[in-house]
C-alpha cells in the first residue's frame, strides 16, 4: 500500500516537474524519478547513492551547494535556476524547487522542471565574457550573473551580499611590472575573489582598479581584502590598499526580482563612471551607498510618478523636409518634480533595468491620449503623435493585452497615433515582438524604429521587424552634415529603407544647412531645434500644420 501511495504522489508531482529527487541530509540521492535517461543519460535507479550536486553542471555546482546549505535553515527552495550535467554537451536549464522535511529525517524533496524560456534567457558558460588579465567576468557578464544568483540565493533563504573593492595603487604598481607579472597579480586577485564568491564564480572586474563579488553574509570582506594585500606583498614585496564596501542585495520597496536588478544597475553605473564616481572627499563606502540609495530612491520616484501620473507630455514637431510643415509630433515625458540632474532618459533606463518600464510605458500612453483628447476638444484637430515604447514592454504579453484594450476604449483614431520602438535595451525575441507590431499595424497604428544606426543591432531590428518609419540616430545625422563619407552613408541607408517602402526621419537637425543636407540624402522628415523645441502646447506650431488633418 505504501508503494502505491508513493507512486500516486510521484505521478501527481509530474504535473509540475520533469525530475523528482529525495536527498538525505548529506545531499546524496535516496530516490529519483522522471525523465532521467533523457536529461541526465542514466536510469533513475542508477542515481541512488550519487551526490546530487554531481548531477548539476560544473559551472552551477557551487551555487547548488550554497542553495542547499541555505535551505537547511529556510527549509524551502523556490525555483532556483541551475544547469544539469546532461549527456554529451547538453546543459539544460531547469527550475529547482523543494522542501527540507524534518519529519523525514531532514531529507530534501526536490522537483526539477524544464522551462523553454530558460533555455534562451540564461547565458551559457561559453557566452560569459571574461577579463583577460584577472580571469574574472567582465562588467556586463558579472552584473547579469550576480543579479541572477542573488535572486536564486534569496529564494533559498540565504542573505546575499555584494562587495565592491577598490585596490588603490594597483595601476601604479602594475605599470612598473612586465606583462607576465601584471597578469600574475591580476590572476591572484581573481582567484581570491572567485574562491570567496557565491557559487565560486560570481566575481567581476568592473574598472581598472575596481572589482566586485557576490557572496554569503558569513564571508568577511576585510579578510578577503587582507588576502589581496598579502598576495601583493608575497609576490612583489609591495603594498596595495584594497578598500571594500559591502551592500545587502536588498532594497526597500522593490519586488524580489527587482532587488538584484537594482544592484546590477549600481554595478553598471559604477563601472561606467569609473574613477569619476570616486569623490576624493568620500570613501568608497559613501560613494557606493549613495549610488545604491539613488537607485532605490529613483525606483520609488518612478513608482510614485506612475501611480499619481505626476508628469506632463511635451510635443516636439517632426516636419516634412520638402514642405517644412509639421507632419506629426513626438510625445516626450516631462516629470514634474524630478531631482536636479536626473534626466527622463536615465529614469527610463533604470525602469528597464529593474523591470518596471511596462508600468511607465502604460502610464505614458494613457496620459498622452488623454492630453491629445483634451487639446482637440479645446483647440481643434492636430497632427498625429508618436509615443515611445520599450521593446521590453512589447515583449510583455500582459502589457500588450492591456495596451490593446486601452487603445480600443480610448476613442482615438488609430491614424492619429504611432509608436516609436526605442533601442535602449536589446529586444531578445524579435519574431514575437514583430507579431505584436503587426497586430497593432493591422488595427491602423504605425510603427517607427527609433535610434537607427546607433549600433549593430539596428540592422537586425530592421531585418526582423516590419515597420513604417525609421528614425536615424542623432550622431548619424551629424556625421552626414559634417563629412562626405557620413553623407554617403546616410544616403545609402535612406535608399535601403525606401526600397522596402519605409519612410525616414533625421533627428537632431539643428539648422537650415543640416536640414538641406539630410534632404539631399533622401530623408523624408526632420526633427530638431531648427523645426521647433518641445512644448506643452503643440498649437504654437499650428500655422505650420500639414493639411488634411
- Strand order across the beta sheet in which 241-248 lies: 203-205, 210-215, 161-168, 241-248
Which letter, b or e, does each residue of 474-490 get, where b requires 16 or more Cβ atoms within 10 Å of its Cβ?
bebbbbbbeeeebbebb
Q: What percent of the chain has pLDDT over 70?
A: 83
| Residue 513 grid coordinates | 544647412
Helix or strand (DSSP H, E) at 422: strand 417-422
Cell triple for 469: 518609419
Among 298, 331, 351, the domain boundary falls at: 298
Q: What is the pLDDT of residues 505-534, one digit of tens each?
A: 999 999 999 999 999 999 999 999 999 999
Cell 488609430 locates to 414
248's grid cell: 545587502
Helix ranges, 197-343 (H): 221-236, 256-273, 284-308
Share in percent of the chain as helix, strand, coil (round to 5): 50, 20, 30
Is the pLDDT at 176 greater than 60, yes or no? yes
| C-alpha cell belonging to residue 470 | 525609421
325-340 pLDDT, tens digit per residue, is 999 999 999 998 866 5
Q: How confident is the model at residue 549 (pLDDT cuts 50, 70, 90)?
A: low
Residue 262's nearest CA partner among 125, 162, 131, 130 is 162
99 domain residue, yes or no: yes
For residue 389, what pLDDT is reported?
A: 94
Q: What is the pLDDT of residue 296?
A: 67
The answer to whether residue 239 is domain-embedded is: yes
Which residues pair with residue 446 across a beta bridge?
A: 418
Residue in the structure block whose three cell numbers are 493591422:
442
Q: Which of 407, 410, 409, 411 is closest to 442 using CA atoms?
A: 407
Domain stops at, among 298, 330, 365: 298
Based on the fold, state whether residues 477 and 370 are members of the same structural domain: yes
Report the distance separating Cα 432 and Cα 159, nearest Å. Answer: 36
**Residue 39 counted as domain residue:** yes
Supply the CATH number for residue 85's domain: 3.30.450.20
Establish if 304 belongs to a structural domain: no
Q: What does the pLDDT look like over 60-116, one tens digit per residue?
A: 888 889 888 888 776 678 778 888 887 777 778 888 888 887 777 888 888 888 765
| Nearest residue to 151 (alpha-carbon basis) of 72, 255, 57, 74 | 255
Report the C-alpha gap between 462 and 75 in whole angstroms. 49
**Same domain, residue pair 136 and 261:** yes
Q: Which residues pair with 312 in a beta bridge?
A: 334
Residues paired with residue 326 on neighbouring β-strands, in sequence order: 319, 545
The dihedral sign for the CA sequence 175, 180, 183, 189:
negative
- Residue 343 forms part of a structural domain: yes
Q: Are residues 92 and 8 in the same domain?
A: yes
Helix (H), strand (E) at residue 335:
strand 325-335
Return the CATH number at 507: 3.20.20.450
Rounded CA-CA distance 270/275 in Å is 9
249 and 162, same structural domain?
yes
The average pLDDT across 458-468 equals 89
Same domain, 163 and 261: yes
Residues 149 and 265 occupy one common structural domain:
yes
430-442 and 397-410 are packed helices; what angle lies between their axes, rounded to 10 degrees?
10
Domain that holds residue 107: 2-121
Least confident span in 163-177, 195-209, 428-442: 163-177
Q: Does residue 377 sit in the same domain as residue 460?
A: yes
- 3: confidence class by pLDDT, cuts 50, 70, 90: low
Enumerate the H helices of 473-527 as residue ranges. Answer: 474-482, 484-499, 512-520
The 3 state secondary structure assigned to 367-401 is HHHHHHHHHHHHHCCCCCEEEEEEHHHHCCHHHHH
**Domain shared by 34 and 178, yes or no:** no
- Output the pLDDT for position 48: 92
Task: Please indicate, yes or no, whether residues 332 and 362 belong to a single structural domain of this protein.
Answer: yes
Task: Say whether both 88 and 206 belong to one domain.
Answer: no
Do 174 and 165 meet the contact criterion of CB atoms below 8 Å apart? no
510 and 394, same structural domain?
Answer: yes
Cell of 326: 509639421
CA dihedral 454, 456, 459, 461 (to 10 degrees): -80
Q: What is the CATH number of the domain that holds 133?
A: 3.30.70.270
Q: How many domains does the chain have?
A: 3
pLDDT at position 12 is 44
Q: Give the model confidence (pLDDT) of 196-235 as tens digits.
A: 998 888 999 888 888 889 998 889 999 999 999 898 888 8
pTM here?
A: 0.60
- Asked if 292 and 316 sit in the same domain, the reply is no
Are 212 and 206 spatial neighbours (Cβ–Cβ below 8 Å)?
yes
**Residue 340 belongs to a domain:** yes
Report percent pLDDT > 90 for the chain: 41
DSSP designation for 443: T
303: in domain:
no
At residue 254, does pLDDT exceed 70? no
Among 230, 265, 298, which residue terminates a domain? Answer: 298
Helices 430-442 and 457-464: crossing angle in degrees, nearest 10, is 50
Q: Residue 30 falls within a domain, yes or no?
A: yes
- Lookup: cell for 61: 555546482
Amino acid at each position: 500500500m505504501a508503494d502505491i501511495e508513493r507512486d500516486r504522489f510521484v505521478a501527481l508531482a509530474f504535473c509540475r516537474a520533469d525530475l523528482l529527487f529525495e536527498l538525505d541530509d548529506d545531499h546524496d540521492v535516496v530516490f529519483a524519478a522522471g525523465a532521467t535517461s533523457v536529461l541526465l543519460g542514466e536510469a533513475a535507479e542508477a542515481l541512488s547513492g550519487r551526490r546530487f550536486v554531481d548531477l548539476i553542471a560544473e559551472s552551477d555546482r557551487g551555487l547548488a551547494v550554497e542553495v542547499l546549505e541555505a535551505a537547511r535553515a529556510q527549509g524551502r527552495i523556490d525555483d532556483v535556476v541551475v544547469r544539469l550535467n546532461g549527456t554529451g554537451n547538453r546543459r539544460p536549464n531547469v527550475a529547482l524547487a523543494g522542501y527540507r522535511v524534518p519529519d523525514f529525517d531532514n531529507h530534501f524533496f526536490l522537483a526539477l522542471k524544464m522551462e523553454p524560456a530558460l533555455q534562451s534567457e540564461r547565458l551559457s558558460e561559453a557566452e560569459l565574457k571574461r577579463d583577460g588579465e584577472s580571469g574574472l567576468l567582465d562588467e556586463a557578464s558579472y552584473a547579469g550573473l550576480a543579479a541572477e544568483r542573488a535572486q536564486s540565493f534569496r529564494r533559498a533563504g540565504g542573505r546575499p551580499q555584494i562587495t565592491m573593492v577598490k585596490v588603490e595603487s594597483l595601476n601604479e604598481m602594475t605599470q612598473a611590472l612586465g606583462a607576465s607579472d601584471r597578469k600574475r597579480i591580476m590572476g591572484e586577485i581573481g582567484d581570491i575573489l572567485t574562491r570567496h564568491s557565491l557559487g565560486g564564480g560570481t566575481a567581476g572586474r568592473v574598472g581598472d582598479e575596481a572589482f566586485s563579488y557576490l557572496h554569503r553574509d558569513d564571508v568577511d570582506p576585510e579578510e578577503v581584502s587582507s588576502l589581496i594585500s598579502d598576495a601583493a606583498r608575497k609576490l612583489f614585496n609591495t603594498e596595495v590598499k584594497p578598500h571594500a564596501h559591502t551592500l545587502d542585495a536588498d532594497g526597500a520597496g522593490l519586488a524580489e526580482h527587482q532587488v538584484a536588478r537594482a544592484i546590477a544597475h549600481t554595478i553598471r553605473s559604477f563601472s561606467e563612471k569609473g574613477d569619476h564616481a570616486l569623490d576624493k572627499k568620500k570613501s568608497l563606502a559613501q560613494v557606493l551607498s549613495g549610488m545604491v540609495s539613488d537607485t532605490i530612491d529613483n525606483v520609488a520616484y518612478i513608482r510614485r510618478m506612475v501611480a499619481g501620473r505626476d508628469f506632463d507630455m511635451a510635443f516636439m514637431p517632426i516636419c516634412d523636409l520638402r514642405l517644412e510643415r509639421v507632419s506629426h509630433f513626438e510625445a516626450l515625458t516631462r516629470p514634474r518634480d524630478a531631482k536636479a540632474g536626473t534626466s527622463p532618459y536615465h529614469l527610463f533606463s533604470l525602469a528597464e533595468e529593474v523591470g518596471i518600464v511596462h508600468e511607465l510605458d502604460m502610464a505614458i500612453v494613457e496620459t498622452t491620449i488623454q492630453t491629445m483628447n483634451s487639446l482637440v476638444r479645446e483647440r481643434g484637430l492636430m497632427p498625429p503623435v508618436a509615443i515611445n515604447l520599450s521593446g521590453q514592454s512589447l515583449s510583455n504579453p500582459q502589457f500588450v493585452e492591456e495596451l490593446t484594450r486601452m487603445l480600443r476604449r480610448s476613442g482615438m483614431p488609430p491614424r492619429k497615433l504611432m509608436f516609436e520602438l526605442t533601442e535602449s535595451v536589446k529586444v531578445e525575441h524579435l519574431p514575437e515582438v514583430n507579431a505584436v507590431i503587426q497586430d497593432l499595424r493591422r488595427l491602423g497604428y504605425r510603427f517607427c524604429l527609433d535610434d537607427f544606426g546607433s549600433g549593430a543591432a539596428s540592422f537586425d531590428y530592421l531585418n526582423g521587424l516590419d515597420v513604417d518609419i525609421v528614425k536615424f540616430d542623432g550622431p548619424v545625422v551629424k556625421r552626414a552634415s559634417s563629412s562626405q563619407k557620413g553623407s554617403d552613408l546616410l544616403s545609402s541607408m535612406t535608399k535601403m529603407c525606401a526600397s522596402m517602402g519605409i519612410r525616414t526621419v533625421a533627428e537632431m537637425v539643428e539648422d537650415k544647412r543640416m536640414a538641406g543636407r539630410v534632404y539631399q540624402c533622401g530623408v523624408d522628415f526632420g526633427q530638431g531645434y531648427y523645426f521647433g523645441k518641445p512644448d506643452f502646447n503643440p498649437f504654437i506650431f499650428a500655422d505650420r500644420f500639414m493639411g488634411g488633418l
